[in-house]
Structure 1
Amino acid sequence: MILLADDEPAFQRLTAQWLRSLGHDVETVGDGDAARAAFARLPADVVLLDLAMPPHHAPEAGLALIPAFAPAPVVVMTGHADHALALKAIEAGAWDFLAKPVDPDMLQVVVARAVERARLAREVAQLKAQSVGSEDMGLAGSSPQMTALRDLVRRVAPTPLPVLVLGPSGTGKELVARALHQASPRAARPLVPIHCGAVPADLLESELFGHLKGSFTGAHADRPGLVETASGGTLFLDEIGEMPAAMQVKLLRFLADGTYQPVGARAMRKADVRVVAATHRDLQAAVADGSFREDLYYRLRGVVLRTPSLDERPGDVPLLAALFLRRAAQGEARFTPDALTWLTARRWPGNVRELRAAVECAAALAPRGAAGIAIAAQDLAFATGEAIAAPGAPPAVQPPQSLEAEIAALERLRITEALERTGHNHTHAARELGLSRVGLLKKMDRMGLR
């Protein structure tokens, strides 16, 4: 969408008409305050800004408006075409400069370049957001549970509080830890994970706190522990419920004052780390039966975050599946209608991890046609080991939960795919889907896709 801010009605009308004839969606305003309000309500892809507008009319005063439209590229327009003013506009953050009377062909070229720049900037932002981890899409979803979780992560991340992440296996607890770290003041320092149940009990202390040469058989040199490695950053204790009782005491001391003692050392050392712990176990039950220390439990649970299972958010399954398919497939790929029915009807006890594995397997094994890969229910059933149908046999599909849920899932998937294909250009996506732009935006708001 292009925001055209100009106080001349004739110029507004003719310029907007010309841009709309080129396929752009245009909103017009007549003064600086209205331009600010319009951009705050619905950020535009490109801003065409007249520098000499009410309430000040002076071109220099219009320069102060430019930063308000970041990060959209701003093309300034004025009848006062001089090099000094152009340089000032560029220094204030403008992307380009047009002198009035504006040449329509030049306007077309400049706007096309600005729209392309905005599209590339969105793609770069999306790629940065996807680079947090190899399973970053586990926090995707428009369900109320995931919306609330992402909001809590944003609020908790800047604080120094320890965080305890609870939830079933495969729901993305490590992704929550990574998101907390990336959004915290510690993001420039390392995030160091350790699976407390994967390290033998007699080696866990050395892994965490390090050891000195000769402190035990095989200790041929000093070795720093993960606590020292994570200093200034975040230590992620995965499956904290599996930690042996003896190590729980030593971890409690470290959480109390930040001091620890490497194996074989006499002197205490200190490290500044933020601790994020996670487990699929019921720690309160473990405290009750004596397998987990109560004082450690309360040290860890500064803030408790819970990752929901896919059973709690079935509406997110098609969206997640589409994201996993886009990443796994080489070229064009889609789900057939029966595959969408199968995805939404099936229970996923392994949660996001299981869903991702099924989609990746189906994408790797499904036959590729002239139009790319079309994954059917039969391919997904084979990928999960539930059925190996004979050639030509109908796939074993469970009945959908409801017709309304099936339609909603298909609608969400189609909108997501259209937005991806058009580089999140709402006008083009709406045209492809046979909707008005306003109608598409309303659907996106309702589904939480904005």
Structure 2
Amino acid sequence: MDLSNYLNELRGAGLLKVVNSPMAVEFDIPLIAHRFSGLGPAILFNNIKDHPGFRAVANIVDTRVKLMMALGVSNAEEAYIKLLNAEANPLEPREVNDFPLIRLSEVDLSKLPVPRFFEREPGPCLTSGVVLGLGDYVNASFHRLTVIDRDKFVIRLVPRHLYRIFNDNKAKGRDTPIAIVWGIHPAFLLASASSPPYGVSELGVANRLMNGELRVFRLSNGVPVPVDAEVVMEGFILKDAEHDEGPCVDVMSTYDVVRRQPVVKITSIYVKPNPIVHVLVAGDAENSILMGFEKEARIWNAVRTVADVKAVRLTRGGGGWLHAIVAIRKTIEGEGKNAILAAFSAHPSLKHVVVVDDDVNIDDLNEVEWAIATRFRADEDLVIIEGVRGSSLDPAAIDQSIGLTTKMGIDATRPLSKEAWRFERAKIPERININEIKLE
């Protein structure tokens, strides 16, 4: 289960298109990826200007169809169960003694096709590299990595597991050993974007998702890395070095603030022959799916304890992070509000949630808006929670540094105590096969 084989699966399904013309990784490839985001095919760039031998691919899991294909499941519910089971029952990957990648003769990040995405960003930024950090265990997670020197990145560390590992090592007077994995199977990416409890390695989650096929090799700094990666960078997060990070674009397609953040020093770079790197545009559909899908699974799992849940979506407009729509089969009054509270509990970064009935297609925002227009009354069905912790990605937060905000839930389910016919969407009987009608 490596990236090349996955791309062959996409090609066989008609979900891969190729660009053979020379394209610059600064702005041009990101622009093409952005324009086609969420529209169907992944795009393989076979000719990167100024980077001979490298190829790039974008939009590999920018649709739910591709994500289901990567996980080997047929629907979202199967994917939720598989992912939650992998977190609950991680499988340690098998360690091997041979590393098939080639070590480059020098460390020079300018020789790698690290993209530059947005006009106000300070330089090339790696958004799709998985950072493996070694502390009490091996953590795998996504972080912005902006090139600041031929052998150095500045890394955005949010107060989560790698941040804790870094501070634990720093308190002991040690740099943090890391590896950056760039170009890997989407199941590994999804596991790395997930949030199992501290101490549960995402490598084990990934291996469970990959049906036990993940093999790792331990680098000289002690970090185990997938042998099927396209590019691996070995190095350390320095305990005593900081640099300005930003302004860089986040999942909401807005510029984040500039902060002093730790510095990563790269000591070795390893590549496959003719490697394929992954270009991930912040704020695009692929970013939303990778970042939000595990949280969607958690919401689904929490809501099903209080209501009969049909479907959950973290929406594209909410960055796959701040907005959720939940469809339930309501049997008693109050279940809509219980579903709202369950969703907020399952995903604390969630800002707004809309709960609808199971006759509403939550992938059609027109239908969701119709449900709000016809089944919601603000004096009865609005839930407001003030002064709570949300997401630091919300630029409208009361205090963005900690995500302090106000949350809102909309119960747009029809009341059971009133005449049901008043809340039905009118339908025209289907007595003919509309697909057989020819328009001339």
TM-score tier (shorter):
under 0.3
Normalising by structure 2, we get a TM-score of 0.22
Q: TM-score, normalised by structure 1?
A: 0.21
More strand by percentage: 2
- Flag the structure with larger Rg: 1
